[in-house]
């Protein structure tokens, strides 16, 4: 699995910016997405896993410029690919890379259970940095080579966590608190929310993703992923072999 992840991201980093993704260029060479370090620490006193990424610039300062619609909506992310399994985070058993993604996207809100801005409105917080568990899978439809794994919305065998948004892909909106402070972005995950798995490996990635949700639809051969990875700005380990362990 680790070698597959490394291969996919090496291809991603070597590829030019994907077509239909001019917005990717807006964030090239931005120090806010140049990762310097990362850590996942087990806080035994509070039963928490503390994930953090430190960048050269100001973590979370840069957010996407809105597209004004869902189709083509930009998503910026600080992402932790891990060796956790899909069952550890509340999904049914499925193949793919389990990742914790801290994201911001102004064009939509995919965490309707949570009021991240604290304004009393639950469906207007997409621009506020918030977490998602996602299952990433190889995807040749985008030059990035990865997307969030999708499923048939009529497939009754798919198991999702109760906090997952109503979208036919393996994504959860767990509501963990995300904090930015200077050059660091952090999120705390209760250990019981990963079935008490405290021994796993990870890496850290900063990337650009984009939504495809055209009103007219595409033919099956041309359909783009609902949420694809189009550009990677930095990878902490360089080779993405998930070398880092929980401290």
Tokens of 96: 């793919």
> What is the rounded average pLDDT for all residues in the chain?
88
- Residue 51 pairs in a beta bridge with 40, 187
* 135 closest CA partner among 36, 18, 1: 1
Which pTM does this prediction carry? Answer: 0.90
Q: Is the dihedral of CA 25, 30, 36, 37 positive or negative?
A: negative
For residues 22-35, average pLDDT:
88
In this prediction, residue 222 carries a pLDDT of 52
Inform me whether the pLDDT recorded for 6 exceeds 70.
Answer: no
For residues 75-81, average pLDDT:
97
CA-to-CA distance for 141 and 223, rounded, in angstroms? 8
For residues 116-140, average pLDDT:
89
In this prediction, residue 126 carries a pLDDT of 83
Inform me whether the pLDDT recorded for 72 exceeds 70.
Answer: yes
Q: Which residue has the higher pLDDT, 33 or 216?
A: 33
Please, which pLDDT band fits residue 112 given cuts at 50, 70 and 90? confident
In this prediction, residue 123 carries a pLDDT of 77
Q: SS3 for 91?
A: coil
In this prediction, residue 215 carries a pLDDT of 64
- Cα distances from 99 to residues 19, 56, 81, 85, 144, in angstroms, run 25, 22, 4, 10, 16
Inform me whether the pLDDT recorded for 201 exceeds 80.
Answer: yes
Q: Which residue has the higher pLDDT, 142 or 204?
A: 204
Please, which pLDDT band fits residue 15 given cuts at 50, 70 and 90? very low
Inform me whether the pLDDT recorded for 242 exceeds 90.
Answer: yes
In this prediction, residue 46 carries a pLDDT of 97
Greatest Cα pair distance in the chain: 53
For residues 59-77, average pLDDT:
94
For residues 143-162, average pLDDT:
91
Q: List, as one string, the DSSP characters of 133-159.
A: EEEEEE-TTSTT-EEE-B--TT-TT--
Domain boundaries defined on the chain: 2-238
Please, which pLDDT band fits residue 21 given cuts at 50, 70 and 90? low
- Cα distances from 105 to residues 21, 99, 127, 142, 182, in angstroms, run 15, 18, 5, 19, 20
In this prediction, residue 26 carries a pLDDT of 83
CA-to-CA distance for 73 and 69, rounded, in angstroms? 6
* 28 closest CA partner among 180, 238, 236, 231: 231
Least confident of 117-131, 152-166, 183-197: 117-131
* Residue 82 and residue 88 in contact, taking contact as beta carbons nearer than 8 Å: no
Give percent above pLDDT 90 in the chain: 69
């Amino acid at each position: 699995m680790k070698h597959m992840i490394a291969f996919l991201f090496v291809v991603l980093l070597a590829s030019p910016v994907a077509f239909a993704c001019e917005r990717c260029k807006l964030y090239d060479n931005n120090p806010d997405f140049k990762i310097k370090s990362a850590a996942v620490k087990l806080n035994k006193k509070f039963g928490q896993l503390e994930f953090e990424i430190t960048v050269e610039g100001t973590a979370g300062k840069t957010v996407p410029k809105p597209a004004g619609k869902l189709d083509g909506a930009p998503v910026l992310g600080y992402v932790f690919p891990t060796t956790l399994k899909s069952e550890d985070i509340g999904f049914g058993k499925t193949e793919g890379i389990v990742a914790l993604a801290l994201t911001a996207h102004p064009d939509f809100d995919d965490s309707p259970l949570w009021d991240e801005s604290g304004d009393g409105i639950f469906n207007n917080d997409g621009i506020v940095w918030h977490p998602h568990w996602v299952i990433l899978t190889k995807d040749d439809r985008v030059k990035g080579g990865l997307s969030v794994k999708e499923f048939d919305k009529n497939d009754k065998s798919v198991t999702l966590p109760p906090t997952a948004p109503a979208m036919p892909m393996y994504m959860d909106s767990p509501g963990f608190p995300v904090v930015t402070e200077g050059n660091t972005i952090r999120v705390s995950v209760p250990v019981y929310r990963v079935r008490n798995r405290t021994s796993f490996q990870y890496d850290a990635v900063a990337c650009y993703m984009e939504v495809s949700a055209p009103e007219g639809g595409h033919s099956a051969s041309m359909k783009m992923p609902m949420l694809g990875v189009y550009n990677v700005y930095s990878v902490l380990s360089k080779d993405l072999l998930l070398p880092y362990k929980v401290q």
